[in-house]
Copies of this chain bind each other. A is one copy, B any other.
Amino acid sequence: TEAGETIRATLFPGDGIGPEIAESVKQVFNVAGVPIEWEEHYVGTEVDPRTESFLTWESLESVRRNKVGLKGPMATPIGKGHRSLNLTLRKELGLYANVRPCNSLPGYKTRYDDVNLVTIRENTEGEYSGLEHQVVRGVVESLKIITRQASLRVAEYAFHYAKTNGRERVSAIHKANIMRKTDGLFLKCCREVAEKYPEITYEEVIIDNCCMTLVKNPGTFDVLVMPNLYGDIISDLCAGLIGGLGLTPSCNIGEGGICLAEAVHGSAPDISGKNLANPTALMLSAVMMLRHLQFNDQADRIHNAILQTIAEGKYRTADLGGKSSTSDYTKVVCDHI
């Protein structure tokens, strides 16, 4: 990105509290002078046959064109004849890696103060194949699919991430002692990629043992890479260590270099429209997007302002035990930029 250039990025404010927290991001971006022009897309009110979901075709085209975007929470409407919004996005945009840096926040006390790890989740296959059927009455089966292509792709991303982010170790999480062929293939791919990164330590950790170690001593982990379901579980477990999904940024890496940053918490309809939501996860996700665009200066300033605001502890939203409104908290972050 050249100096002075304006970047177009897609914004999905999402549902519930989404629009409010997206507004917070716009404000901090303005104050930090981020040269981004948003293309805003809302979830549609009817199923778009081209996406088989409430997502509009235009919104997906916008991400494909801009290759960068930010997404708030999206609750899939209940009913038949359409696909989940989140799963459709992953599928249609080939979002193959979900990346979640997970760091203890100075000043926000949990039972852990030593978390500094990154989970990298394969995001397209595994237990999420959607292939299930009843064999005979009372016996159902579900297919977990592991491919060499998707495993190599996410492993490559994990090692590349480790190298370019000054990380020292990649742990592949698996249950290959039981699922020898599927998780075995995943490990084989990780080992192949590991050979190309001799400067990064590579290890393999069985998922049950990984979860036990995470709750005892999360400081022992650095970068974790894993198949879809393990990633779903472990990334939320890790979020819990630092205080929950309201504090955890995430970003999805997709085919053709797409980066779709995303707050992974829910849309909290109970507090929506009340100026009570915590915009931190979306703001931190937006920071990940800025780093992807190499707007490092703005990313650092916004990131530090958020950390400072939380560390000071005076302005916090209700989910963190504080009394601030979304807009007051956002204003303090803006003041700190």
Contacts and interface: CB of A to CB of B under 8 A. Distances in A.
A244 B215 CA distance: 10
Given A132-B180, A142-B182, A233 B208 contact: yes
A145 interface: yes
Nearest to A178: B128
Count of identical protomers in the assembly: 2
Interface centre among A145, A181, A208, A235 (most CB of B within 10 A): A208
Q: How large is the interface on A (under 10, 10 to 19, 20 to 34, 35 or more residues)?
A: 35 or more
Interface stretch (A5-13, A48-56, A146-154, A270-278): A146-154
A3 interface: no
A133 B239 CA distance: 34
Contacts of A41: none
A245 interface: yes
A19 to B, nearest CB: 24
Interface of A: 110-112, 127-128, 132-135, 137-149, 175, 178-182, 184-185, 207-209, 211-216, 229, 232-237, 239-241, 243-245
30 contacts: A111-B112, A111-B215, A127-B179, A132-B180, A132-B181, A132-B182, A133-B181, A135-B145, A138-B147, A138-B149, A138-B185, A139-B147, A140-B147, A141-B182, A142-B146, A142-B179, A142-B181, A175-B232, A207-B232, A208-B232, A211-B211, A211-B233, A211-B234, A212-B237, A212-B245, A214-B215, A214-B237, A215-B215, A216-B240, A237-B237
